[in-house]
Amino acid sequence: MAIVSIVGARPQFIKASPLSLELRRRHREILVHTGQHYDHGMSDIFFKDLGIPAPDYHLGIGSGSHGAQTGGMLSAIEQVLEKERPQAVIVYGDTNSTLAGALAAVKLHIPVAHIEAGLRSFNRSMPEEINRVVADHVSTWLFTPSATSRDQLAQEGISSGVHVVGDIMYDALLMHLERAEQRSRILHRLELAPKSYYLATIHRAENTDSQDRLTRLFGTLNRLERPVILPIHPRTSQKLREYRIEPGPNVRCLDPLGYLDMLNIQKEAACVLTDSGGVQKEAYYLEVPCITLRTETEWIETTTAGWNRVCGTDEEQILAAVAELGKSRPSHPNLYGDGDTARRIVQILGEALQSNG
């Protein structure tokens, strides 16, 4: 059976890695890269690190306003789907690529499988929240990482086709962690001792598009007592120049890192400070304390377990949380499955498609 998988951004490349491998054992996968992340540091290096097959279609949409980017993707994906006529379309997460892929498919009456369904920040000012809500409401199969996300779908009246399968990013981490430990030389290159530094990532529009919030965040990073390693997103780099924000001498800004280097540098950090959902989860899996630089998180189980603290951009809250999280080591329950999410998804999809004929 032919199945189209649509990816476009760094987290989707990570999620596609284990699922593409499993899909191709049983089905013909057609991989479509929208080009939402298009430079080497955010795209090409991930395909290389993760061993993802080269895309069958690279749409080259690139950056732009939400309307222009999503519209360009919608039109280009529609052409691919009309040509390939797959039995299903897989979309991941909450990006504009997710939204465009889901809409293009459902308008052509092709069933959609949404990986990482049911997540909610309950913050409709986030473009990602709109994308994930719409994708969930047009999908035939909704693969959720936890019972919490399943219950959130039920509250919106969605119960058909919902499957709790765990987190596909946990599959990816288990698949690649040993290779990251063996191959990555990032700590040696940066002359870092394990647990001697903090790792930070900042890329969400709510932080980067606000001069006040971004200034506060960098003011806080500048006050931390250990070095802060910051692989810098192109959007963040642009805004730092625009707002004339100067990182302090303890903040080391790096070009974006590949997946293996990122895993290794996360694993050995004393604490992670991030506004990324994927990095929050990776920190949890690697048993590294995490500070979320937003006012909410979709991954609430990590906060309940005591490994993640939501602090927004409040300087004193962040500093206090960094100090407090380093003092204790909570229990570490298995929150998002056993690392067999890809197998479960492919089995469920295969059975459903076979029964449909």
Residues 6+ apart with CB under 8 A from 345: 19, 22, 113, 115, 143, 163, 165, 168
Give the Cα separation of 126 and 103 in Å (integer).
Answer: 19
Give the closest residue to 70 by CA, choosing from 81, 82, 62.
Answer: 62
Burial of 130 (0-12, 13-18, 19+ CB in 10 A): middle
Give the closest residue to 168 by CA, choosing from 184, 145, 150, 188.
Answer: 145
Residues 6+ apart with CB under 8 A from 349: 3, 88, 113, 141
Residues 6+ apart with CB under 8 A from 103: 74, 134, 138
Residues 6+ apart with CB under 8 A from 306: 328, 330, 331
CB 172 within 8 A of CB 18: yes
CB 353 within 8 A of CB 187: no
Strand ranges for 116-194 from DSSP E: 141-144, 162-164
Q: Measured over all CA atoms, what is the biggest interatomic distance in the chain, rounded to whole angstroms?
A: 62
Residues 6+ apart with CB under 8 A from 244: none
Give the Cα separation of 259 and 246 in Å (integer).
Answer: 27
Among all residues, which ones are annotated catalytic?
Answer: 203
Q: What number of other Cβ atoms are within 10 A of residue 25's Cβ?
A: 9
